[in-house]
Structure 1
């Protein structure tokens, strides 16, 4: 990943974390922070597709897109001040954590098989 995308990705992740924490104190502001974070996170993810050719890697990338969709649902639930946003965010976190580790493992495996 190049430096601007990496910076946006990390900043977006921090904004999402800050929104989850600040929801306890100010739900309205937290929803806007969450929206900015999710937009940045989604923009970087959509513009950085899986670089390999394996079907499994492409499928994992699709699962990652579902994780971002769950984050968008969480953002909507924050705006309407429904506490169910936590469930959606946990599902997103699980999917994104799993796909992050598995995508890097799959890509390394694919590069190793080519050699």
Structure 2
């Protein structure tokens, strides 16, 4: 690929590295220079969820979780605790999925039973 075809992806990754203020500045400059460009940037930022707040804390937590403190014993303890918590989260999510599946099956069985009642009443009458 040539540099001409990859510049949008390069610009997007550069703006992502700079953070929200860079996206906002690019949008404002786009509005000033050529207003359809600014509107297109605004639409893209909304469509791609670039302006959501909830994506920032998880990124920072992951960075802090993998950073070494310099104390090997504490880093090993932290890694073990994070691994254990991730396993517990996976088990809990699996448990919730089982509950959802059981609820869905019960609702489906109830639907089928209610559908069969009128058919059974007609065959006995």
Q: Which has the larger radius of gyration?
A: 2
The one of the two structures with greater contact order (alpha-carbon pairs below 8 A, sep at least 6) is: 1
